[in-house]
Amino acid sequence: MSFLLRVFTVFVMCAPCVAFAQSSRLSGAFLHFGYGANEEVIRDDQIPALLDELQDLGNDAIIINQTRAGKTQACATSSTQFEWVKGFPSKLSTLLDAAHSRGISVFVGTTLSSGCWNFWQGTNSLSIEQDVYQSHALVAQQYASHPAFSGWYVSDEPGLLDADKHAHYQRVVAALKDVAPGKLVLVAPHFSEAESLSPATIASRALAFRSATGVDIQVWQDNLGATKLFHWSRAGYSSEQYYSALASALGASGLWADIEVFNYGKPLINRVGGVMTGGYRSASATRINQQLWSARAAAKRVSWLHQWHMSEVIGPSRGYVEAPLAQGLYRSIYGIGGAARLTSLNYSGYSFGTSPNASYPDSTGFELFDGQTGDPMNPTDRAWIGIPGAAGVVKMTVDLGVAKKTDWIGLHMLTYPSWGIRSSTSADVYCGQSLGSLNKVATISSPFSAAALLTSTGEEYLLGNTSPISAVCRFIELRVVTNGSWLFVSELELASD
């Protein structure tokens, strides 16, 4: 490829990055406070710092995923079988005041039918309605006139909006509108298992659901893994196609997008020795950027779950050590607080110490910095670069062109044990003004072992640092430990604060 053509291609590929940078960011977040009377995930004293962080990142809405839940993992026969999540309802007073002072709206989660798979049927449905008239009526009485109280989120997820769920949601929405007239009601359907349904079919279901139930806003989960990004080569419809069809049917204001900010994994949560491997850990900010672009037809994009995957206030203390990395990289894409994305010189100024295999090439010469991550369900996706790891270490050397400060490094990788592909769990970072003067500045490592990856069927992971490196140099070199496995990489994310 000629130099001019290469530059032109990069410009075309990255033009949308600039165009949507200001318009399609996350502007809301789901927050999880607990699953019952004994769990308090977010203490009152953490609320100010958490809301400061959300505001700083551009959020103007939070959605509490539930304030009540089943006392046991069974379907209810009466509302007495539900309880307040620890701290509620009085926690709403703290939360609403703190949110209002920061210009943040609050949507209050209702009652979760813990462990009741057919929650929309029989006595469980009637118990949920009863709980609205008892518990949520009290919430409405006390807080509905608070300026930050913007509406309700119905905690039980309606899946693909099958018609047999209409009656339940109609009943619950009517009760919520009864106890708090004029307040919006949100639900969160998802594309999971939608592969066989066309965007037009999903859109017509969405419209029928709204007509039957009176739900105001459908916050569709993008379900990465189940749903593909537009540039992934596997068969099926993309989240972009679904969101586009939904916006046409519902109007943009009736549609929000719930963006998964965690990694795909199968199993999603793969624990070995009590430690999760890559699945459900913080996602690549590059991938989140593509998800947000794919959901641009919706009126608003909110994250699931900010506190685990992007919050420095709560994430690390709960074992989500990658949250500061995800936030640092996210800030760099949108220039929040002066953060900047770094790329190799002309995007292609990098080299691999071991050549990629011809079947999984770096086909453009700038795949590592092209803003596209590989499909975690598909090793043959063209976004993956496959490098043999028999030598034990793979070097990746990046020329930034001039000396720059690098704070964050994230390497997006695949684990696919049946193909002998495993994410690296450790890399040394070298830095220098010339290739002859490289010094080690950091070692980055995952919280899980390489052996633990064998119990995963497939997952993605972003290996990186968990506090800023602050290394100033022109050349950055990663010496990536492979443990002998194939290394499949799709993006190297570099950023300065």
Nearer to Ca ion, 191 or 369 (CB): 369
> Least distance from C-beta 377 to Ca ion, angstroms?
16
Nearer to Ca ion, 153 or 350 (CB): 350
**Structural tokens at position 339:** 């953060």
- Stretch 140-179: interaction string toward Ca ion, x if CB under 5 A: ----------------------------------------
Interacting span for Ca ion (CB under 5 A) from 79-87, 293-301, 320-328, 488-496: 488-496
Q: How far apart are CA 390 and CA 354, in angstroms?
A: 10
Instruction: Quickly list DSSP for 230-296.
Output: TT--SSS-BHHHHHHHHHHHH-GGGEEEEEE-B--EESSS-EETTEE-STTSBPPHHHHHHHHHHTT
- Stretch 339-378: interaction string toward Ca ion, x if CB under 5 A: ----------------------------x--x-x------
**Structural tokens at position 257:** 């997008």
Q: Is 477 in the site for Ca ion (CB under 5 A)?
A: no
Among 111, 221, 490, 496, which residue sits at the site for Ca ion (rule: CB under 5 A)?
490
The DSSP bridge pattern shows strands 393-406 and 439-445 to be: unpaired
- Helix ranges (DSSP H) in 295-408: 306-309, 323-334
Whether 133 contacts 140, CB under 8 Å: no
Nearer to Ca ion, 413 or 429 (CB): 413
Instruction: Tell me how many residues contact Ca ion (CB under 5 A).
Output: 5
> Least distance from C-beta 491 to Ca ion, angstroms?
4
> Least distance from C-beta 384 to Ca ion, angstroms?
9
Count of C-beta atoms within a 10 Å radius of residue 497: 15
Q: Is 491 in the site for Ca ion (CB under 5 A)?
A: yes
**Structural tokens at position 494:** 């570099």
212: exposed, middle or buried (Cβ count in 10 Å: 0-12, 13-18, 19+):
middle
Nearer to Ca ion, 287 or 309 (CB): 287
Q: Is 381 in the site for Ca ion (CB under 5 A)?
A: no
Nearer to Ca ion, 348 or 372 (CB): 372
Nearer to Ca ion, 227 or 490 (CB): 490
Q: Which residue is nearest to Ca ion (CB)?
A: 491
3-state secondary structure of 92: helix
> Least distance from C-beta 433 to Ca ion, angstroms?
27
Whether 190 contacts 220, CB under 8 Å: yes
Q: Is 460 in the site for Ca ion (CB under 5 A)?
A: no
Chain centroid, CA 379 distance in Å = 21
Whether 400 contacts 340, CB under 8 Å: no
> What does the binding site for Ca ion look like in residue numbers (CB under 5 A)?
367, 370, 372, 490-491
